[in-house]
Amino acid sequence: MVRTNLNNILLLLGTALLCTQAHGQLDVNTTFTPAALVNDILVGQGITVSNLTFNGAPANTVNDQIGAFDGSTSNIGLNNGVVLGTGRVVGVTGSNQNISLTVPPAAPVNVADPDLALIESLQRCVAVLEFDFIPTGDSVNFRFVFGSEEYPEFVCSQYNDVFGFFLSGPGLNGPFSNNAINLGVLPNTTVPIAINTVNNGSPGVLGGGASGCNASDPNWQLNSVYYIDNDGGATVELDGFTVPIRTGAAVQCGQTYHIKIAIAHAGDASLDSAVFIEGGSFSSNSAVSVTATTPQNDGTLTEGCGDAIITLEVPSRSTDANIQLHYRGEAGAEDISGNLGTVTIPSGSTTISFPLGAISDDQQDDGEELRIIATWVSACGFTVSDSVSIELLDYVPMDIMTYDQYLGCDQDSVRLDALVSGGLGAITMSWANGDTGDFTYVPGLENGTYTVSATDDCPRTATVEVNVNSGCGINVPNVITPNNDGMNDAWVIDGLYRSKHTVTVFNRWGNVIFESKNYNNSWRASGVSDGTYFYEIISDRSDEPVTGTLTILSNGRP
């Protein structure tokens, strides 16, 4: 395929693609100046920046070859940062529908960068970001990803798009300008990362054979572990890119260093490439870090309910690190326990942790912010700090709502429910019968009292009792008036339903005048004279016979 003819076609396709991919999962914004991108996005702790330029000019004008990216919902491997490209960087947004995207910059620079020339001499669409910086620690490091549309077709060809991070300054002695070293290399090597050194391990169908890659790195096929094939990728346009790679170098704290970030097409101006540098990762290791792990992992700490674990981290050193701690915000030191003023991280260690609790009191602290500020004076004499915030919450006691059950001796079993309000986090319900959950089934034909407990993540426990009145207690009327007036005509005994029983009625001489097993409450004393009689009820619901007197009044009057 002839790339010069292809370029015009790809330009049209790329321009059309820009109109349809503005909302890809990898978002790019080119409205920031290079200076703003470096100061507000790229640099992290321990770095002071000055003398920024882009393509040799002051870095105070926007340029379509550099922008901010948001990769939090993409597969690029970096959440956000700064992207530098050979074309208009908005073209790298997904999805990957164009296998050979080219979107030329508005003002391409085709003068070869002298440092990139030591890797690749014929350059097009060069983009160079440079600045001085002073580190507060003894190293500088950052993370990046390199990607390209040259993958995979032109692997091992002369179209070996390249980039570099050229660092110069005190103590450095490399082969590039001002004794700079290149940080855009494979881990633990001096091999520059480029199309022909990091790829899928096979020459492209439009490449020049394995010899083209061998010339860049004889071990190039082993480098495929650093490569991701993005064929059909839904979030990034580039056909392939590296895994996130961390790079860095030892420096002298307090000294001025210079870095040049450069990228260029190789051979011609077709098929865009880009390098992504993680936001905040360009940092020096004098930084102190403070993090908080709360019991619910949600940044909140409830009074009287466990501790947050505060972790402090500093770089490796040969001396102790004394960290000063301050507590600010709506909540103060009086609201917490374990609030240390100074923490020492011994030499040889980089982290230390301690517990911090919220004191349970009668004050309203709900929703108040506590900010923990950690300050450290590094071995180089620089004061660095970091902070973390925790939201304090009042504990809301658990309230268990239940309802006693009053039955009619007509249910074999009954469901008991419990509803809990308040408490912290997940709540576990447990019943005295061994059941768990917010309900249980208990016998309905016998009286009972059942305990239910709720335990939360504080942990605290609340307990209530639920009563069941089965309605099965034996209740015997002592008067009936069987005069057929529809009122109290039959001897109705409560509590015999579904029991085994015998009902016997005697006269005063002990003679049986009525007897029934499984009595159905229908006896009207037919043919029995008015008077007082004696009864005995033997039931499996009573350990002792139930006895008493029954008065029969046919006319309803004594």
Q: Where does 79-183 show beta strands of DSSP type E?
A: 80-85, 123-135, 139-148, 162-168, 181-182
User: Which CATH class for the 289-393 domain?
Assistant: mainly beta
Contact predicate 240/199, CB 8 Å: yes
- pLDDT tens for 14-34 read 333 333 334 448 999 999 999
pLDDT on residue 316? 77
Specify the range with the lowest mean pLDDT, choosing from 71-85, 250-264, 472-486.
472-486
**What would the mean pLDDT of 492-512 be, rounded to a whole number?**
89
- pLDDT tens for 316-342 read 777 899 999 999 988 877 889 999 999
Specify the range with the lowest mean pLDDT, choosing from 232-246, 374-388, 439-453.
374-388
The whole-chain average pLDDT of the chain stands at 90
Residue 3 clears pLDDT 80, i.e. is over it: no
Q: What is the CA radius of gyration of the chain?
A: 42
Sheet with 439-443, side-by-side order of all strands: 399-402, 413-421, 439-443
pLDDT on residue 337? 92
pLDDT on residue 46? 85
pLDDT on residue 284? 87
Domain 289-393 and domain 479-552, same fold? Reply is yes
Share of the chain above pLDDT 70, in %: 95
d(CA 55, CA 66): 11
The larger pLDDT score, comparing residue 540 to residue 369, is at 369
- What dihedral do alpha carbons 186, 189, 195, 199 form, nearest 10°? -60
**Residue 160 pLDDT grade (very low, low, confident, very high; cuts 50, 70, 90):** very high
The larger pLDDT score, comparing residue 329 to residue 76, is at 76
pLDDT on residue 164? 97
Contact predicate 133/45, CB 8 Å: no
d(CA 270, CA 522): 104
Whether the model clears a pTM of 0.75, i.e. scores above it, the answer is no
Share of the chain above pLDDT 90, in %: 75
Specify the range with the lowest mean pLDDT, choosing from 262-276, 351-365, 500-514.
351-365
Return the sign of the alpha-carbon dihedral for residues 515, 518, 524, 530: positive
**What would the mean pLDDT of 393-413 be, rounded to a whole number?**
91
Tell me if residue 42 falls in helix, strand or coil.
helix
> What are the residue ranges spanned by the domains of the chain?
3-282, 289-393, 399-469, 479-552
Contact predicate 325/342, CB 8 Å: yes
Residue 99 clears pLDDT 80, i.e. is over it: no
pLDDT on residue 555? 59
- pLDDT tens for 261-282 read 999 999 999 999 999 999 999 9
Superfamily of domain 399-469: Immunoglobulins (2.60.40.10)
CATH number of 479-552: 2.60.40
pLDDT on residue 17? 36
Show the 3-state SS of 254-271.
CCCEEEEEEEEEECCCCC
- pLDDT tens for 193-239 read 999 999 999 999 998 899 999 999 999 999 999 999 998 888 999 99
pLDDT on residue 498? 74
